[in-house]
Chains A and B, each alone.
Chain A
């Protein structure tokens, strides 16, 4: 009986202190970590079309189409198929692909989530923060260059 009363006292204490742990989401957006991995942003100016991201992607999410002169034509990324592992960002030698902190994206069909180059370029920053700067101090550790063959080109 005492244990039951203790249980009830505990919940009543929570009810009376009026504290809330949840947030009212659209009005109060969460602070996400600078390392947070959201939807991708692509920069065509930086991209050298080396295809490393396409090769490393565990899920075949990225599709790159180049012409016979190795000039990039298409950069397609299915953000619904992506597992947000950030390996593409890690292997990219020029920061052309970056996972923003933006987690607010939707689509009515699966096809809506297959982003083309233009859509990827227009992905907005979350709260206007470019996470690249905050990730800078850690860039050294992302992927050690290591020995062994370089498996692109």
Chain B
């Protein structure tokens, strides 16, 4: 296990690509290698989104509701992904009167890319790791928070009252949850002693206890389940999934900030949503579930990593099937009065424990 992890901590993917690709190690070669690396990670995530959006979401929802779902096109209905893509992209892009043009056009792009950029610092195992800055965790939260800007842009620029309400709700919600989320993450940083993602993963590699020959690693979820639960909940709120999908709230605000978007822009927003869920899953996997660690050789780390992301995704769908949506004032109350206090308590507790042990 340890040797696998040292392999992982090797140079990030672009640096190795520079050696493989025939463009030398000059500025041009580095740039091309970085682009290729980003393309690999980006298309991996996009593929996952494409599977999750039109297909997996329907299948999972159908399983919860005793129905069949997409099963006509291709094996297991998988060709629906192509059909849906064609359908969505070939729709007319309707631009409502009075939209604030640059902001309205930028919002979906901001939403999709803020999530996509977050994957740059996530160590996914099997050597897929674009960059490993020392402030990796800060970068993830910073870049993911830009989504709030996208939401408020979409809500404000649409010239629609439902969108406006949705945008305002999104900001209020994200403010209320960003802080507890980061405070909980800080407790992980205290434990790992580093903000670097690879360091955090490495810190979770030591075995915690060995029960009957089966060693439980020091995944932070096992070390501090309280923080794990808090983080999963805060993450649900952060990505705006049920029961916290208040900015969209179909039965109240039609579709919230995305009411006026159609065609490609809708696809981008839709992509952005799923990418955010996956980014949330990736952060949870990295901070609490040992990143790409798992049984077997280190070279299949990516498989474990994706499995963990999907587990988080399935959890969001499970919560969606059973939990009613909160009201915005209740949500903010829980955020500021409940989650923030709990997150602080968790931080202090962790600090004391780490301090005592160290």
Which A positions have Cβ atoms within 8 angstroms of B?
4, 7-8, 10-12, 14-15, 18-22, 24
Given contacts A11-B318, A12-B318, A15-B63, contact A4 B323 (CB under 8 A): yes
1/0 contact string of B55-92 vs chain A (CB within 8 Å):
00000100111111001000000000000000000000
A22 to B62, CA, bound (A): 10
**B66 & A11 in contact (Cβ 8 Å cutoff):** no
| Closest CB in chain A relative to B251 CB, distance in Å | 18
B64 partner, pick from A4, A15, A21, A22, beta carbons under 8 A: A15
Could you tell me the dominant secondary structure of chain A's interface residues?
helix
A11 to B65, CA, bound (A): 8
**B323 & A7 in contact (Cβ 8 Å cutoff):** yes
Contacts of B9 in A (CB 8 A): none
Answer yes or no: B356 CB below 8 A from chain A CBs.
Answer: no
1/0 contact string of B87-126 vs chain A (CB within 8 Å):
0000000000000000000000000000000000000000
1/0 contact string of B318-330 vs chain A (CB within 8 Å):
1101110000000
Contacts of B322 in A (CB 8 A): 4, 7-8, 10-11
**B323 & A14 in contact (Cβ 8 Å cutoff):** no
Contacts of A22 in B (CB 8 A): 66-68
Contacts of A14 in B (CB 8 A): 63-66
**A8 & B66 in contact (Cβ 8 Å cutoff):** no
What is the size, in residues, of chain B's interface with A at 8 Å between Cβ atoms? 13
**B63 & A8 in contact (Cβ 8 Å cutoff):** no
Beyond A8-B318, A12-B64, A20-B67: 6 further Cβ-contacts under 8 Å?
A7-B322, A7-B323, A8-B321, A12-B318, A14-B66, A24-B71
Chain A residue nearest to B314 in the complex (CB)? A15
Q: List 5 A-B contacts (CB under 8 A).
A: A4-B322, A7-B323, A11-B322, A12-B318, A20-B66
A14 to B67, CA, bound (A): 10
A71 to B98, CA, bound (A): 67
Contacts of B323 in A (CB 8 A): 4, 7-8
Chain B residue nearest to A9 in the complex (CB)? B322
**B64 & A11 in contact (Cβ 8 Å cutoff):** yes
Chain A residue nearest to B60 in the complex (CB)? A15
Contacts of B63 in A (CB 8 A): 14-15, 18
Contacts of B68 in A (CB 8 A): 20, 22, 24
| Closest CB in chain A relative to B226 CB, distance in Å | 13
Contacts of A19 in B (CB 8 A): 66
Chain A residue nearest to B321 in the complex (CB)? A11
| Closest CB in chain A relative to B322 CB, distance in Å | 4
| Closest CB in chain A relative to B242 CB, distance in Å | 11
Contacts of B60 in A (CB 8 A): 15
A4 to B320, CA, bound (A): 12
